[in-house]
């Protein structure tokens, strides 16, 4: 078995690894570090949770330990799709480079330019950035990429989802062609394959098993959900979520609850809180400082339930997450793999439970096809409620007494679920709905405009250069097209579909 000392890393890096408590390299580390140290390009096909961050951070520190940075000319560059992931990569550098003198700067939206400018002016060894923010700095004339010796692209498949590929291509073209490239992606979509064929030179290809397909340490299950009345769907689904959480008992030490839509992230978090649970939302519309605070609280164990959207939780590295709860079936099968990969990390056991509505069954089938497995059906109280087509004659406020939120439960589970769900800690308004956030729930269940995908920096960051965006640029085309419902695309419109051809010439 390969050990870290076999990998020819700098002794100071080895010391930091030992202090971090890591004994043996993970397969992606054992596979990627040797060619990276030999100066070769690396194509790593691995998802988060496999130790892929250290597989580029460790050789980079070793290589950068010699030499000095020049003003405005970073020696290496790490591109990440989201701010959170960029911040996490920066933390990895802090951990593993603590005995090596290295300077780094983090260029992400939501953080002031001034401080970053000062660091870059002095010269940095490592620049960690999201693509939009990096190009903003470049266009302001504050940065030269001609000194980049090593460039990392992390989570390229997510870059593709977020419409960053044109930016990535541009950044590649701004760096010297002699650079070394370390490129990581969980999947190899044709567009990713094209980029790697164009910009990587004879890469060492290391592919590690996906967690979801091996997945022995993640217990998975799906609860089939049928609302009894359309207008009660949201509140019934939230009651089911509470049932699931309570059913897991003490085994659920903390959980990430994924929703497909930002609006649901807010509603679900609010509902859980009103029922006395320790929950907070995180999605791209929240202030960066608030997102960071919430993430820190979750990481530190002060927050038990993190209700999240896919992009906001992307790359979130909390080693001990006991549960992932999918409030919705993700509309992209790949996202299921990413979501459940938040639990069962670093060799621990994890559990992933998903709620599947009737309309989500197609997506569930796509997931099962992708992971080449059937996800076991869990029989939970309220899991299979009255079928949607069952005629309901009673008025909305004539809720049967044995329901949580105005709908009958199956007789099999009635007594179990009543004891929990019928006793919300918050005051229950009259019989219309026991869910204290019913007004929003009604809004949520009412016909909605097509949900906006998570904001990417292009769409969000006001500081982003207008000149680059132009009238047909990504940021604008996303915004406008997202407001139109796209038939046949489900709830998620990948941003690359909205790209104009002109921009890509």
Which listed range, 51-59, 66-74, 198-206, 237-245, lies at the site for ligand AMP (CB under 6 A)?
51-59
**List 14, 26, 44, 267, residue binding ligand AMP (CB under 6 A):** 26
DSSP string for 411-478: GGGHHHHHHHHT--SSPPPSTT-SSTTHHHHHHHHS--PPPPPPPPHHHH-TTS-HHHH-TTSHHHHH
Tokens at 403, concatenated? 């329901």
Q: How far apart are CA 93 and CA 95, in angstroms?
A: 5
Among 34, 50, 185, 353, binds ligand AMP (CB under 6 A): 50
Q: Are 357 and 389 in contact (CB under 8 A)?
A: no
Mapped to the 3 state alphabet, what secondary structure does 117-146 carry?
A: HHHHHHCCCEEEECHHHHHHHHHCCCCCCC
- Our CB check for ligand AMP shows the closer of 54 and 143 to be 54
Smallest gap from Cβ 95 to ligand AMP, in A, equals: 8
In the bound complex, what is the minimum distance in angstroms from residue 157's beta carbon to ligand AMP?
A: 14
Token pair listed for 397: 């406020």
User: Which pairing describes strands 305-308 and 279-282: parallel, antiparallel, or unpaired?
Assistant: parallel
Q: Is residue 487 a contact partner of residue 481, using CB atoms and an 8 Å limit?
A: no
Instruction: Return the range that interacts with ligand AMP (CB under 6 A); candidates 19-27, 136-144, 273-281, 479-487.
Output: 19-27
Q: Name 220's bridge partners.
A: 352
Q: Is 44 in the site for ligand AMP (CB under 6 A)?
A: no
Q: Taking CB under 6 A as the rule, does residue 256 contact ligand AMP?
A: no
- The gap between the terminal CA atoms of the chain, to the nearest Å, is 48
* R_g of the chain, CA atoms, integer Å: 24
Contact window for ligand AMP (CB under 6 A) among 21-29, 145-153, 221-229, 426-434: 21-29
Q: Could you say which of 319, 358, 439, 470 contacts ligand AMP (CB under 6 A)?
A: 319
Q: Does 346 bind ligand AMP (CB under 6 A)?
A: yes
Strands annotated E in 318-470? 323-326, 350-357
Note the residue count of the chain: 505
Q: Are 355 and 237 in contact (CB under 8 A)?
A: yes
52 is a site residue for ligand AMP (CB under 6 A): yes
User: According to the binding rule CB under 6 A, does residue 31 interact with ligand AMP?
Assistant: no
The binder of ligand AMP chosen from 31, 34, 49, 74 (CB under 6 A): 49
Shortest distance (Å) from residue 308 CB to ligand AMP: 16
* Minimum separation from the CB atom of position 24 to ligand AMP (A): 6
Beta bridge partners of 45: 185, 207
Judged by CB under 6 A, which of 13, 44, 45, 48 binds ligand AMP? 48
Rounded to the nearest whole angstrom, what is the least distance from the CB of residue 415 to ligand AMP in the complex? Answer: 42
Measured distance CA(236)–CA(421) in Å, rounded: 11
Alpha-helical runs (H) found in 332-376:
333-340, 361-370
Q: Is 74 among the residues that bind ligand AMP (CB under 6 A)? A: no
- Near ligand AMP by CB under 6 A, which window of 8-16, 43-51, 138-146, 266-274? 43-51
Nearer to ligand AMP, 145 or 153 (CB): 153
Which member of 44, 51, 81, 490 binds ligand AMP (CB under 6 A)? 51
**Burial track 439-471 (b if 16+ CB lie within 10 A, e otherwise):** ebbbebbeeeebbbbbbbbbbbbeebeeebbee
Residues in contact with ligand AMP, counted by CB under 6 A, come to a total of 15
* Tokens 């620049």, residue located: 127
Choice between 125 and 317, CB closer to ligand AMP: 317
CA distance 209 to 13: 26
Under the binding rule (CB under 6 A), the answer on residue 350 touching ligand AMP is: no
Q: Tokens standing for 405?
A: 């939120």
Pick from 41, 236, 317, 334 the residue near ligand AMP by CB under 6 A. Answer: 317
Cβ-based nearer residue to ligand AMP, 7 or 239? 7
- Strand-pair partners of 355: 223
- Determine, following the binding rule CB under 6 A, whether residue 420 of this chain makes contact with ligand AMP: no
Nearest to 444 by CA among 169, 188, 213, 238: 238
Site membership for ligand AMP, residue 25 (CB under 6 A): yes
Using the contact rule CB under 6 A, the part of the chain among 45-53, 243-251, 289-297, 419-427 near ligand AMP is 45-53
Which residues contact ligand AMP by CB under 6 A?
22, 25-26, 29, 48-54, 317, 319, 345-346
């Amino acid at each position: 078995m390969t050990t870290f000392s076999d990998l020819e890393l700098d002794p100071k890096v080895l010391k930091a690894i030992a202090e971090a408590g890591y004994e043996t390299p993970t397969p992606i580390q054992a596979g990627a570090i040797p060619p990276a140290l030999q100066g070769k390009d690396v194509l790593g096909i691995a998802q988060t949770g496999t130790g892929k961050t250290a597989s580029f951070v460790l050789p980079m520190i070793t290589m950068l330990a010699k030499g000095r940075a020049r003003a405005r000319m970073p020696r290496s560059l790490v591109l990440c799709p989201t701010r959170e992931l960029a911040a996490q990569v920066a933390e990895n550098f802090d951990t593993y480079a603590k005995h090596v003198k290295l300077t780094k700067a983090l260029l992400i939206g939501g953080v002031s330019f001034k401080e970053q400018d000062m660091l870059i002016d002095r010269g940095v060894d490592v620049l960690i950035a999201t693509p939009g923010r990096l190009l903003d700095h470049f266009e302001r004339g504050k940065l030269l990429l001609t000194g980049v010796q090593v460039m990392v692209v992390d989570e390229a498949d997510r870059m593709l989802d977020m419409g960053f590929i044109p930016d990535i291509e541009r950044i590649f073209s701004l760096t010297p062609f002699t650079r070394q490239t370390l490129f990581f992606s969980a999947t190899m979509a044709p567009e990713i394959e094209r980029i790697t064929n164009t910009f990587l030179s004879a890469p060492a290809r290391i592919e590690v098993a996906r967690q979801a397909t091996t997945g022995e340490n993640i217990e998975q299950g799906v609860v089939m959900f049928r609302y009894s009345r359309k207008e009660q769907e949201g509140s019934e689904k939230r009651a089911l979520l509470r049932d699931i959480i309570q059913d897991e008992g003490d085994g659920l030490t903390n959980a990430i609850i994924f929703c497909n839509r930002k609006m649901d992230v807010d509603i679900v978090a609010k509902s859980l809180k009103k029922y006395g649970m320790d929950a907070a939302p995180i999605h791209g519309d929240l202030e960066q400082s608030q997102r960071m605070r919430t993430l820190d609280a979750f990481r530190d164990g002060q927050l038990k339930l993190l209700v999240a959207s896919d992009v906001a939780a992307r790359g979130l590295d909390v080693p001990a997450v006991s549960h992932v709860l999918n409030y919705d079936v993700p509309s992209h099968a790949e996202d299921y793999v990413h979501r459940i990969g938040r639990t069962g990390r670093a060799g621990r056991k994890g559990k992933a439970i998903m709620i599947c509505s009737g309309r989500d069954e197609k997506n569930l089938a796509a997931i099962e096809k992708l992971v080449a497995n059937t996800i076991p059906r869990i029989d939970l109280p309220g899991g299979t409620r009255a079928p949607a087509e069952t005629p309901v004659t009673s008025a909305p406020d004539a809720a049967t007494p044995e329901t949580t939120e105005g709908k009958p439960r199956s007789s099999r589970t009635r007594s179990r679920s009543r004891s929990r769900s019928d006793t919300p800690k918050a005051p229950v308004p009259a019989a219309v709905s026991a869910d204290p956030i019913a007004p929003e729930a009604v809004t949520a269940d009412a016909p909605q405009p097509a949900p906006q995908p998570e904001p990417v920096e292009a769409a969000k960051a006001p500081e982003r250069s207008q000149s680059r965006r132009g009238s047909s640029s990504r940021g604008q085309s996303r915004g406008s097209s997202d407001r139109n419902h796209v038939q046949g695309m489900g709830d998620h419109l990948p941003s690359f579909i909205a790209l104009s051809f002109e921009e890509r010439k």
